[in-house]
Structure 1
Amino acid sequence: MRALFVQQDHVSPTGPIGEGFERRGYELVEFPVVPADRFHAPDVEVAFPDPRDYDVIVPMGAPWSVYDGAAIGSWIREELDFLRRAHESGVPVFGICFGGQALAAALGGRVERGSEPEIGWYTIETGAPGLVEAGPWFQWHQDRWSPPPGAAPLARTRVAPQAFTIGRSLAVQFHPELTVAMLDGWLGNGGGDWVTAHGGDVERLAATTRAEEPSAVVRAHRLVDRFLDQVATRPW
């Protein structure tokens, strides 16, 4: 079994989510979209593979917005088409943050700027704790989705929807893959300035993440198991 991780940028490793799939016997295949040397000019040309060559697709987070075609160019249209083809072919999709927003947009939902950013560790309101538990989960976003027709909303915060399922696919707005090392990469790649500009405290964010990481890793593994057992196996 093979899980394709669509890594939108060079500072988004698979983390505990990748570990969760490996624990279930999946081979991880990493598909980079924007290389490090194009991070500040991300309008690259990308040829996405045939999603039917994989057993699950995991589109990951990004510092860009799904609707910002002027910045990221044609590859977002290609990615939305790729995710749509995966879903329509019965290939399970597990979308994370930008990846969840992209799944929503690909299937007829809408993505827009939220009323305020969410940065840090949040406990979410969940109507399906046996699938998506309350957390706390790490948030790093300023956009929000409206779910596509036919989706089942599962969780939310005051600011944004946090999870939905549709068919064999699951989208989450938070970052279950987040680790201390990953956060260091984000902060050092311009994210620290972004956090500060939005009133956040970088040192406190890093300290809280160090404290939360051990239990967050366990939650991430549990989320993968629940996705595979409850969503990805739905009849097609």
Structure 2
Amino acid sequence: MRALVIRHDHVTEPGLVGDRLVQRGYDLTLLTVVPQERHHTPDVRFDFPDADGWDLVVSLGAPWSVYDDTAVGSWIGGELTLLRKAHHRGIPVLGICFGAQALTTALGGSVEAAPRPEIGWVGIDTDDPALIPPGPWMQWHYDRCVPPPGAEETARNAVCTQAFRVGNSLGVQFHPEAIPAVVRRWVDFGGAQQCARLGIDPEELVARSRAMEPVARENAYHLVDAFLDRAASPVC
């Protein structure tokens, strides 16, 4: 089975989600949209592959906003086309943070600024713990999804929709893939300054991520397993 993993920047990795997909028999193809040397000028040209031929598409997070044409306008349209076509062809799509925001946009929802940022390990309210455990989950976002028509919101908190399911696709606002090494990179590539503005100690955040790794792994594997097992029984 072939999984296309869209990695928008050089910092993020499929992490725990990728590990579980490999364990479940998927061969991962990792595409990096914005190379390291363009991290601060992400308006690159990028040709996304066609949706056909993949058994699964995963869209990871990014430090930009889906609606920021200056940053991502040169390539986000291609990704939205890919996600939309995959979804309508019945290919499961898993959108994570920015990826969830791209998924909702592709399917007729929208993205807006959240009332406040969320950075850190946060518990959520879930209607379906068999699919979305209550966490805590790693969060790092400034925007939130307005789910597309017909979507089922499966988890939330006071800030935003935390998970939605439509057909056999799933969007999650949090980061089930997060491993300590990636959180460290987020901190080093601009995250420390963001944390400081919010009164968060970035080194404590990295330390907490290390301490949370066993729980995070269990929750991520649980989510991936349930997502894959339910993909054959989509919500209409």
- The answer to whether TM tops 0.5 is yes
- What SS does the corresponding residue of 1:52 show, helix, strand or coil? coil
- Partners of 1:52 and 1:132 lie apart in 2 by 28
Tell me the percent identity.
52
Query: What residue is the counterpart of 1:190 in the other structure?
Result: 190
Indicate whether 1:50 and 2:46 are aligned. no
Question: Deviations along 1:28-81, whole A, 9 cap, x unmatched?
Answer: 110111000100100001110011121000000000000001222220111111
Q: Displaced runs of 4+ in structure 1, greater than 3 A?
A: none
The structural deviation recorded for 1:184 is 0.9
8 A Cα contact 1:122 1:136, kept in partner = yes
AA in 1 matched with 2:227: F
Whole-Å separation in 2 of the counterparts to 1:174 and 1:118: 9
Residue 92 of structure 1, CA deviation = 0.5
Tell me which residue corresponds to 1:81: 81
Aligned to 1:40: 40
Question: What's the TM-score once normalised by structure 2's chain length?
Answer: 0.97
Give the AA of the match of 1:124: I
- State TM-score, norm by structure 1: 0.97
- The RMSD of aligned alpha carbons is 1.1
Number of the residue aligned with 1:166: 166
Tell me the alpha carbon deviations over residues 110-137 of structure 1, each in whole angstroms, 9 at most, x when there is no partner: 1010100000001100001111010110
Q: How does 1:101-180 map to 2 (within 5 A)?
A: 101-180=101-180
* Counterpart for residue 234 of structure 1: 233
Instruction: Judge which range, 134-143 or 212-221, deviates more.
Output: 212-221
- Alignment correspondent of 1:72: 72
Cα distance between partner residues in 2 of 1:234 and 1:52: 20
What SS does structure 1 have at the residue aligned with 2:18?
Answer: helix
Provide the C-alpha distance between the structure 2 equivalents of 1:42 and 1:59, rounded to a whole number of angstroms.
Answer: 17
CA distance in 2, matches of 1:146, 1:73: 20
2:9 matched to 1:9?
yes
- C-alpha separation in 1, matches of 2:72 and 2:101: 15
Check the 8 A contact 1:42/1:73 in 2, yes or no. no
In structure 2, list runs of 5 or more residues that go unmatched: none
Asked whether the 8 Å contact 1:44–1:73 carries over to 2, the reply is no
